[in-house]
Amino acid sequence: MMADQNFKFIDLFAGAGGLSEGLSESGFHGLFASEIVGEYAQTYKKNHSGTEVMTADIRSLDAEEIRRKLGVEREELDLIAGGPPCQGFSINAPVRSILDERNHLFKEYLRFVDAFAPRAVLIENVPGLVSFEDGATLHAILDALAELGYGADVRILGAAYYGVPQMRWRTVILGLRGKNLPQTAFPEPVHHAPIRPNFTATFDGQSLVKFPTAETHSKFVTVKEALDDLPPLRNGEQGQPIKEYACDPACDYQKRSRVGSVGVINHEAPRLSSVNIERLRYIAPGGNWTDIPDELLPKGMQRARKSDHTKRYGRVAPDGLASTILTKCDPHWGSYFHYSQDRSFTVREAARIQSFPDHFVFTGTQAQQFAQVGNAVPPLLAKAVGLAIKSMLEEGV
């Protein structure tokens, strides 16, 4: 999708570019991105050729110099986006947090906000940010933004409510320069989905989760709808680098995924061990480790209660949602067995579940590719947030 050249943003802590991909789809044009991990930055560059990408520790970057090089006046940029590590930013942080240098990287994000003074800011993080230090960190973040002149607020968004076929939640902080954030700032859910918060969802007595309303009739996107047009593979099968689709697109999700695609890339099956293949024989779609005979289980799990670890060694239910895509689609940690093929997910399948379009290419080793996908913001969720920000900026609220 062509970005509206009138809306420009920079992405800090950019990763492989999931947040930028969604913002681009919503009509923003990326000017600059910063990412410390070389392989992540390489993937970002490959998919966002019009954006200047710096592979660097953000602490070494001069925000004012970058602003001048980009030819952007102060207060001219529309948006600074990013996912800086926030935990421990609070002055009340315990010693163990203060000693972790990553916990102060949020100050680097603020340094760029101070230098650019953008019209809006977007920060995404894990749901646990809300309860960290009993809310002190989140208070400190909102106070720091207020000191820079931003009216900011926070919500927790369920990705499945915005068309992403997995149980993933993200904390999103939005801020507007010189204005209070309106009630309509955060996108309304467009799908209903069987997801429930398993984390602290209130802050200062207010519920932060955006739930669908009674008028939201659209059903969530299922795993089968997300994956069923991809070519089947055997355990460990590599095949051609670019593969043909198994069939014509059967639903809107598949049609969207295939726009601009030349074929199926990053679709090679990891090789499962013989014992995992043996375990898999006993697991029905929607089942998990409790279906596996005790003698085939890892020793530690032979002693576990059947009610624990219900996602481990899970074969995902085709008509349900995937569990959260992590940096490894390791069956020992979640429901990463394919619903109808005796193998675990490929990078492309993980990317589909994250809502990446098929034209998005992941570089590096297979392990690095899985990490890039798992660490990303789902583009469809980012697009929904981007459209809400764009609407605010257009209305001049």
| 3-class SS of residue 362 | coil
The answer to whether the beta carbons of residues 283 and 314 sit under 8 Å apart is yes
Distance CA 90, CA 174 (A): 19
Which of 86, 247, 251, 329 is the catalytic position? Answer: 86
Q: For 230, what's the count of Cα atoms within 13 Å in the CB-facing half-sphere?
A: 31
Within the chain, where are the H helices? 18-25, 38-47, 63-69, 95-98, 105-116, 136-147, 223-227, 252-258, 274-280, 299-302, 347-353, 366-375, 379-395
Distance CA 113, CA 150 (A): 10
Phi, psi of 163 (to 5 degrees): 95, 10
The answer to whether the beta carbons of residues 181 and 172 sit under 8 Å apart is no
Distance CA 352, CA 254 (A): 9
Tokens 């149980």, residue located: 167
Distance CA 270, CA 168 (A): 23
What residue type is 103 in one-letter code? N
Largest Cα separation within the chain, whole Å, is 66
3-state SS of 315-342 is ECCCCCCECCCCCCCCCCCCCCECCCCC
86 an active-site residue?
Answer: yes
Distance CA 307, CA 126 (A): 25
Strands across the sheet with 29-35, in order? 52-55, 29-35, 8-12, 79-82, 120-125, 169-177, 150-158
The residues annotated as belonging to the active site are 86
